[in-house]
Structure 1
Amino acid sequence: MLGPLAFVAASCHTTTTGQDVTTPNILIIYADDLGYGDVSAYGQGQIQTPNIDKLAASGVRFTNGYATSATCTPSRLALLTGTYPWRNENAKILPGDAPLLIDTASVTLPDLLKKEGYATGVVGKWHLGLGSGNVDWNRAIAKTPNDLGFDYSYIMAATNDRVPTVFVENRNVVGLTAGDPLLVSYEKNFPGEPTAVTNPELMTRMKWHHGHNQSVHNGIPRIGYMKGGKSALWKDELMAETFLAKATAFIDSHLAKKNGQPFFLYYALNQPHVPRVPGARFVGKSGLGPRGDAVLEADWCVGEIMKKLKEAGLTNNTLVIFSSDNGPVLNDGYYDDAVEKNGTHTPWGQFRGGKYSLLEAGTRVPFSVSWPGRIKAAVSDALICQLDLFSSIASLVGSTASTTDSQNLLGTLLGTSETGRANLVLEASGRLAFRSGNWLLIPPYPGKPVNEQVQLETGLSPSPQLYNLRSDPGQQKNLAQSLPDKLTEMQKQMKQVVGDGYQANTGELQLH
């Protein structure tokens, strides 16, 4: 069997565009709140995702692929920096006016690729902060993805459900006019501005269930307060098409240069995160309500971007990685029939928990890697994390960049090795779990076993939990009491990996 580097070198020639295939284009497609069971390739849900399935079938589909975290901002930080997000006390779900979370002096995935000659772009959801605090949305923003190695960026400032509901292209809000400035606050409302509480009649498209009762835009209540900027406000139902158009335009712009330069595109989908407002062509198509329709829209986006690669003659020389930032959730703050119309669909697959949870469905996500002509179709049970993309891609392109947390699993990604990680630290809302081989340890934590707002198990318990994920992937049997020696071994391993801030007996984390 060829080693990973030999495997790449053995394929060395140039494409019709003049690009050397030892430096493939790299496309990361990153879904938002998409569960393991939402992708039909895993055979555990009721929704059909033919485009994602086709992508998975053309390369390596991982059954033990993880995000680092059960929420979005931390997972995105890990993906782009190759570092565990729990090392950064600010790596939590950010408000829409948060400053840039990643230090501009650090080396990011786009940074290392840019240094190796790649054109770099990000399109879609960002949610890693902008500026240095107190952003003036009416001027050029000082700190954006463009300061982290991206040549081009077209993003939403935070999330669908947070203000400001505008797009930012490179350093400026798109479509903003000087006569109607945009004002944003997460502390207090602007005098005289309506909210979902004071003016419920404004909620013409969706009503809030919990947490989303402040400014209303496009008939949908949001988190945070916003005033003005009317010409710049997005239409939710057009978001998927907008991001897709910008992603394909980035590819077209790159090809127009005809210089054989490879590109890296981080295409961050907004589906199926709330508020779920899919385009007209998908409304009612899934039979499972707006959430199911949004999953179909995400699948369509994957199909369209792959169609663009095929039309451009880039399919065989593009490494495509597909995954999700965390596990699924049905009711995440709105009355949108996600629960009522879910039927027999299981977004979490065979696992327990979901978004916000330390249980498996919180962080075990769809994960596939495709590179036609270079990667053979396979299903891999190797333990791998999005954290590892940093070092693995660095190795692929000949970069010496590395981090302590990210592991070089290039051979695993390319299907030439079945060796994965030995262990992995997982995180949900600042609390940690630890996987080693087939074993998972969840230390004792205070808190409710069920998040009543979203109706998902949290994984919290006053007693330690120990599961064998090979024999019990559904985490039905806690072995902590019956296997005390294994429990002690896992506690020691976790403390060794996490550091002295971790208290093995109590599960408390005190890193800062």
Structure 2
Amino acid sequence: MRVVLPLLGLLALAGVSSAAAPPNVVIFFADDLGYSDVGCFGATKWKTPHLDRLAKEGIRFTDFYVSQPVCSASRCSLMTGCYSNRLGIHGALPPNAKHGISDREVTLAQMFKSKGYTTGMVGKWHLGHHPQFLPTRHGFDSYLGLPYSNDMWPHHPEAKKGTYPPLTLFDGEKVVDHDVTAETQATLTARYRDRAVQFVRENKARPFFLYFAHTFPHVPLFVGEKFRGSSGAGGVYGDVIQEFDSAIGDVLAELKTAGIEDNTLVIFTSDNGPWLSYGNHAGTKGNLREGKGSVWEGGLREPFIARWPGKIPAGSVQTEPAMTIDLWPTLAKFAGADLPPSPIDGKDIGDLLTAKPGAKCLHEAYVFYYNQNELQAVRSGKWKLILPHSCRMIEDRQPGMDGKPAGYKQVKLDTMLFDLEADVGETKNVAADHPAVLQAMLAHAEQARADLGDALTKRKGTGTREPGRLADPPMR
């Protein structure tokens, strides 16, 4: 592990009182953001000054993961601290889905509520759009946003007539727009920003949790008039990123104006990698392989930035692996909350987040599922195991342009082993050179199959739980 830990940061840590009040927490969660879409992670075609400043004043993780490279599954893991397939949430829930997050699970918002926090959300939920699944039924005091992805609407470039109903916009549990238009989508970033700033302003005197789960840069891309053309060569994608960065800057400014930035933990990451088939309307993966919809690094590894003045030493860089599932137990400890009654998969990464010297990843391995409960990859330490499966890939294909996607090719993959420290692009299979490592990685896969199951090997796990279903009676 390499942690860059400035001397001033160490001195700041030494002066922090253990009796400090529990922090406010703000999570910015992008949609389909590429690993290199932020300046401090390599972006060059557009600028992200507020996120770059956040990293300069806090920490960035180089090896931060989501549990699955797709919308609903990824968000489920963030909200519950569990692998989403443990909870029966797979893929991206469509508008005709009759299931969603179960009310037997304890969300981040419910955990914070148990400790007296006020909770608010803006943006994309995507864990069920029927009333019993909405954010306001799972711990959030307020909500403004879309129930699922913004391309799940009648104007999708590949949708047949009647595939999707009109897209709706919720305020709390009330639909305030029954047919979201392109013009409305162009105002979403500003609306989310205004509501987020208002939430901070109204709750500055009490502990709060704000979840800003942005609709973008998921396609279709829309940007406010002020930011159209702002990124120049970055095109509309760069404009969208710059508008989001500006919105983040406005929320950060409100924290400062309110005098509460020193006791606010701010986190930024995304739900999965870039949707590469959309070409110039997709993000950038840097040196990683592939993107959204694959368990290659480009689909799973995300930029992660956190700032908590006096707790996180400024300018830190963490290279130990971590995942969204780890945020639940970590934030619970910061808030003084207990773990939920049902087991979760995440582990406390507080020492990694605060750049404690010598801190290590507490997981023996992370496992990556996709499709309908297919175990496709495992990471342990610097090693990454790819298990036999079929996947879609954009390699050697001409990507789409201007909002219209290109087709993927389907590829059958065999067992492969990669050394991510030496080969982050996953180009050289070293399984034959490291038979002992391969066997150890396969053993991790077997443990996952026994617990969570695996459709590829027709295994049924013993540790899975059911999602919520529309016909389920409410919990008393």
Letter in 1 for 2:242: L
Report the counterpart of residue 290 of structure 1 in structure 2. 236
Say if 1:145 and 1:153, in contact at 8 Å, map to a contact too: yes
State how far apart, in whole Å, the 1-side matches of 2:348 and 2:191 are. 35
- 1:172-251 correspondence to structure 2 within 5 Å: 172-174=174-176, 218=181, 235-251=184-200
Q: Check conservation: 2:73, 2:89, Cα contact below 8 A.
A: no
Q: CA deviation at 1:106?
A: 1.8
Residue 417 of structure 2 contacts residue 431 of structure 2 at CA under 8 Å; is this kept in 1? yes
Q: For 2:267, what is the secondary structure of its paired residue?
A: strand
1:352–1:474 CA contact under 8 A, matched in 2: yes
What's the Cα RMSD here?
2.8
**Quick one: structure 1 residues 485 and 465, their matched pair in 2 at CA, closer, same or farther if it must change by over 3 Å?**
same
Which residues of structure 1 form unaligned runs of 5+? 2-6, 14-19, 132-140, 177-181, 183-216, 221-233, 340-345
In 2, the alpha carbon distance for the partners of 1:411 and 1:25 equals 19
Residue 148 of structure 1 pairs with residue 138 of structure 2? yes
Q: Output the CA distance in 1 between the equivalents of 2:56 and 2:408.
A: 32
Partner of 1:428: 370
Q: What's the CA shift for 1:144? A: 1.7
| 2:215 paired residue number | 270
Matches within 5 A, 1:69-468: 69-99=68-98, 101-131=100-130, 141-163=131-153, 164-174=166-176, 218=181, 235-255=184-204, 260-286=205-231, 287-332=233-278, 337-338=280-281, 347-377=284-314, 378-402=316-340, 403-417=343-357, 418-420=359-361, 421-430=363-372, 431=374, 432-447=376-391, 449-450=393-394, 461-468=412-419
Q: Deviations over 1:213-264 (max 9, x none)?
A: xxxx63x6xxxxxxxxxxxxx7111110011111111122223xxxx42000
Deviation string, structure 1 residues 113-151 (Cα, Å, up to 9, x no partner): 1111101111111111122xxxxxxxxx45421111111
Who is 1:484 aligned against? 435
Aligned to 2:8: none
2:371 and 2:33 map into 1 onto residues whose CA distance is 18
Q: CA separation in 2, counterparts of 1:503 and 1:236?
A: 38
> What amino acid does structure 2 have at the position aligned with 1:264?
F
Report the equivalent of 1:188.
none
Give me the whole-angstrom Cα distance separating, in 2, the residues matched to 1:440 and 1:271: 29
Q: Which runs of 4+ in 1 moved over 4 A?
A: 7-10, 447-460, 500-504, 506-512
Q: Distance in 2 between matches of 1:265 and 1:143?
A: 19
Q: Distance in 2 between the 1:36 and 1:509 partners? A: 33
Question: Are the counterparts in 1 of residues 125 and 148 from structure 2 also a CA contact under 8 Å?
Answer: yes
- Residues 508/290 of structure 1: CA separation in 2 closer, same or farther (3 Å cut): farther
1:190 equivalent in structure 2: none
Q: Secondary structure at the match of 2:302?
A: coil
SS of match in other structure, 2:186: helix
Larger radius of gyration: 1
Alpha-carbon offset, residue 508 of structure 1: 6.0
Give the conservation status (yes or no) of the 8 Å contact 1:72–1:93: yes
1:93 Cα deviation from its structure 2 partner: 0.5
SS of 1:426's partner is strand
- Offset, 1:92: 1.7
Residue identity in the other structure for 1:82:
G
Structure having the higher helix fraction is 2
- Which residue of the partner structure matches residue 11 of structure 1? 16
1:496 corresponds to which of 447, 462, 467: 447
- 2: distance between equivalents of 1:9 and 1:108? 33
Contact 1:70–1:326 (CA<8 Å) still a contact in 2?
yes
Task: Return closer, same or farther for 1:268/1:148 CA change in 2, 3 Å cut-off.
Answer: same
Question: Shift of the alpha carbon at 1:386?
Answer: 0.9
Give the TM-score taking structure 1 as reference length: 0.77
Q: Judging changes above 3 Å, is the alpha-carbon distance between structure 1 residues 463 and 280 closer, same or farther for their aligned structure 2 residues?
A: same
Aligned to 1:195: none
d(CA) in 2 for partners of 1:456, 1:365: 24
Return the letter of the residue paired with 1:438: K
Cα 1:501–1:245 shift into 2, 3 Å = closer
SS in 1 for 2:21: coil
Normalised to the residue count of structure 2, the TM-score between the two structures is 0.82
